[in-house]
Amino acid sequence: MFKGSLVALITPFKDGKVDEDAFQRFVNWQIEQGTHGLVPCGTTGESPTLSHDEHKRVVELCIEAAAGRVPVIAGAGSNNTAEAVDLTLHAKKAGADGVLVVTPYYNRPTQEGLYEHFKAVNDCADIPIIIYNIPPRSVVDMSVETMARLSKLPNIVGVKDATTDLARPSLEKIACGDDFALLSGEDGTAIAYLAQGGHGCISVTANVAPKLCAMMHEAWQQSALERAQQINMQLMPLHEAMFHQRSPAGPKYGAHLLGHCSPETRLPMTPAEAKTQEIVREAMANAGLL
């Protein structure tokens, strides 16, 4: 089962192109800092503006750099089922440990359409699949009932839940079983999500504070609840700072402050503005990262 602190990796750019060296160094640093898993080519990785070739290359670079030390869950989502299948087949061939597949955005399928979309991905390759349920971005919400149907398929193993509904993990655990991986998609409510039955978090904040994020989850797993809460309180201003401006401006600027990469983003996303820079810098300093 996937659990703990899994980082939704940024994709470093340099002069408009993927900075492959910076990305692989960043992956190595994440593992050295204790991150429990890597998620390339998600929203934080600016997957909407990566070409298909770039997307696949970033997945390959991540798997190569990780070298089996921690799981790699490759972003493979699309609102085009055939495209999601293609990205999943590539991730399987490249050696990923799983794929993250978002609910189809913009075209707003029915619950039956969601089921058939994920069933098609399930049927295309023998690789663990994490459902990514994020209604604020996709404008469609997978019901617990649909998720329970999908959990019976052999490759559907969990969910990244970004609904902010803290009743969901308990309801999903009841409906899908104890072996269904429940991963929060919201740093600020990760501890509350764990308390409701969750297993981990696919984290944006871990781009700049991987050690603290990993320590928080390890403390929780060891039932050191007070310690987990202390770290959570230390991180809370940073969680907020990461989203002062639309992600990935915040985490990219934070990684830049740590010397990992350029703060460059791709349009329509823009780099951190002056106020965002100030807030991110202050939050990182208060968390002991600068």
d(C-alpha 241, C-alpha 250), whole Å: 7
Give the pLDDT score at 1: 80
190-206 pLDDT, tens digit per residue, is: 999 999 999 999 999 99
> Considering the entire predicted model, what is its pTM?
0.96
Domain range 4-224, CATH architecture? Alpha-Beta Barrel (3.20)
Please list the ranges in the chain whose pLDDT falls under 50: none
- Reference 200, options 70, 76, 103; nearest CA is 70
pLDDT digit string (tens) for 106-155? 999 999 999 999 999 999 999 999 999 999 889 999 999 999 999 999 99
Specify the residue for token string 């998620």.
39
All structural domains of the chain with their residue ranges:
4-224
Long-range contacts of 162-166 (CB under 8 A, 24+ apart): 162/132, 162/133, 162/134, 162/135, 162/136, 162/137, 162/186, 163/133, 163/134, 163/135, 164/189, 166/192, 166/193, 166/196
Catalytic residue set: 132, 160
| Share in percent of the chain as helix, strand, coil (round to 5) | 50, 15, 35
